[in-house]
Chain A
Amino acid sequence: GQQLNQSPQSMFIQEGEDVSMNCTSSSIFNTWLWYKQDPGEGPVLLIALYKAGELTSNGRLTAQFGITRKDSFLNISASIPSDVGIYFCAGQLSGSARQLTFGSGTQLTVLP
């Protein structure tokens, strides 16, 4: 199936540091979404992006829909221990009947 390249695969950061992760694809997406999965739970939607160039914030989280519509990034500022988890990007391809393609996830560990 269609691939989304998400990087990095894992990150170890100190509490208080900023984090950045991104997703890229060779295809054009109509929608980009970012999810967070806590251990043993289902993913929860963090941010949804609907237009190229859109920059959206949700508290300490900021995400952008790339101008080319082939990429998106997520930034987390001033990380705290509860930021630990797996972050997934997801995109909707044009004409895909609203099905989402998921990235492989970024495992974030925050060290005290």
Chain B
Amino acid sequence: DGGITQSPKYLFRKEGQNVTLSCEQNLNHDAMYWYRQDPGQGLRLIYYSQIVNDFQKGDIAEGYSVSREKKESFPLTVTSAQKNPTAFYLCASSHLLARTNYGYTFGSGTRLTVV
């Protein structure tokens, strides 16, 4: 079955370290997105990409970086510049060219904790 896979499910980072969160989809979706969710909060957009080798900053891109070298993959790096990285991170993907907008498909998330 097609889907979107995030790994790892739980991640612990020491202060000052960079960490990379994986996101892979086999839905043949054009666009991919990264969101951050804090406890009791909604979804805040970090980065998104509509095509390979191109990506755009979202509302809270500072301290994060991404790459889109393959259509299926959109890894997110949380850098040491991100001062408060403890959060739940969600990856999503969607079609861009389908006549009907079927919305985003989300992964199951990665919970990042700074120790």
Binding site for B on A (CB under 8 A): 1, 30-31, 33, 35, 40-45, 48, 50, 88, 90, 92, 97-100, 102-105, 107
Contact = CB atoms under 8 A, between A and B. Distances in A.
B109 A41 contact: yes
8 contacts: A1-B45, A40-B109, A42-B107, A48-B102, A97-B96, A98-B95, A98-B96, A102-B42
Given A88-B43, A99-B48, A42 B108 contact: yes
A50 to B, nearest CB: 7
B103 to A, nearest CB: 4
Given A88-B42, A98-B96, A105-B41, 18 more contacts: A1-B45, A40-B88, A42-B109, A43-B43, A43-B90, A43-B106, A44-B106, A45-B102, A45-B103, A45-B105, A48-B102, A88-B43, A97-B50, A100-B94, A100-B103, A100-B104, A104-B42, A105-B42
Contact of B101 (A1, A88, A92, A105): A92
Ranked nearest first, the 5 interchain pairs of A and B with the lowest CB-CB distance are A42-B106, A104-B42, A33-B103, A31-B101, A102-B43
Contacts of B90: 42-43
Interface residues of B, number: 27
Interface of B: 6, 31, 40-43, 45, 48, 50, 59, 88, 90, 92, 94-96, 100-109, 111
A22 to B, nearest CB: 15
A88 B44 CA distance: 13
Contacts of B94: 98, 100
Nearest to A31: B101
A82 B43 CA distance: 22
Given A41-B109, A98-B95, A107-B40, A48 B59 contact: no
Nearest to B101: A31
Contacts of B107: 42
A100 B50 CA distance: 13
A86 to B, nearest CB: 9
